[in-house]
Amino acid sequence: MKTNMGTLDRILRVVVAVVIAVLYFTGTISGTLGYVLLALGGIFLLTSVISFCPLYLPFGISTCPKK
């Protein structure tokens, strides 16, 4: 797996995941929408940790700086 996410992309995904988690655990979002957004936040967090987004691959997108 070649990394395809840059630092800014990773930071934004972590921030979005944290915001979703805070909104869910404070009860601001709940129900089915809460579960869907919580799962999305988990995916954002996982892809940030491994620096690879599978959805970028088919489109040839890479936010990682050229080496």
33 vs 66, residue with greater confidence: 33
pLDDT bracket for residue 67 (50, 70, 90): low
The CA–CA distances, whole Å, from 10 to 30, 39, 42, 55, 60 equal 26, 17, 13, 14, 17
Alpha carbons 6 and 3: distance in angstroms, whole number: 8
Annotated domain spans of the chain: 7-56
For the cut 80, the answer to whether the pLDDT of residue 1 exceeds it is no
Q: Summarize pLDDT for 21-53 with one digit per residue, the tens.
A: 999 999 999 999 999 999 999 999 999 999 999
2 vs 47, residue with greater confidence: 47
Q: What is the pTM assigned to this prediction? A: 0.87
Check residue 66 and give its pLDDT. Answer: 76
